[in-house]
Amino acid sequence: MTNEVDIGSITNDRKLELIPPSDPRVQCAIAPFNDDMLSEHHFKDRKELTDLMYETMKKYGGIGLTCNQVGLPFNYFCIGGHPQIESGLTIHCFNPIIVSSSDEEVLMTEGCLTFPFVFLPLKRPRKIVAKFEDENGDLQEANLDGMMSRAFQHEYDHILGRNFTEKASKLKLDRAFKKAAKQMEKYKKRIEANANT
């Protein structure tokens, strides 16, 4: 008997779950990605990883998801997939970098799958130029604006081991967490009520 796993025998029933914000994996910068890393975590190729990450992002209702949010050590995130943002465009970003950003900043309210019900008004550059490898391993350059720029910057922070709560004042953060706790209680009551019917 060996501890080796036949990657070909792993089914597509695999699920990824969000890890809590207190988990050190969420708070650590991620090393550069290379394809050899995939087999260590039982993925046969980039396509299998990107499909599962996209499926997980949609399951949780997000427009962005980085590997460290689900406990994986890959320098990768996916963004988009919402029909009202860039006609549902989805971008898969391995080893992303932000090359430049506009001087113009925009204030928007952000949320994060790692912090359910926490929403914070944050300023970020409106436009960015980014480079990354896509799901096929090809180098891409993207000029992003609006919500796609915002989502890229938010997920890129995760790659660096940062999260959006670090960009808010203590006062705004305290208010957001109090409001989130109330929303979580309402959510739990709805779930319990639905389970009892």
Q: What is the pLDDT of residues 70-87, one digit of tens each?
A: 999 999 999 999 988 888
3-state secondary structure of 194: helix
3-state secondary structure of 188: helix
- Predicted model pTM: 0.90
pLDDT at 4: 42
Question: 86 catalytic, yes or no?
Answer: no
Give dist(CA 8, CA 89) in Å, integer: 30
Name the one residue in this structure whose structure tokens are 């604006």.
145
Q: How does residue 8 score in pLDDT terms, banded at 50, 70 and 90?
A: very low
- Nearest Cα to 158, choosing from 76, 100, 85? 76
Give dist(CA 109, CA 102) in Å, integer: 19
The strand pairing partners of 120, in sequence order, are: 110
- Each residue of 13-35: pLDDT tens digit? 789 999 999 999 999 999 999 99
> Catalytic one among 155, 166, 185, 192?
155
- Nearest Cα to 149, choosing from 87, 118, 105? 105
Q: Which fold has domain 7-195?
A: Peptide Deformylase (3.90.45)
Q: Domain ranges in the chain?
A: 7-195
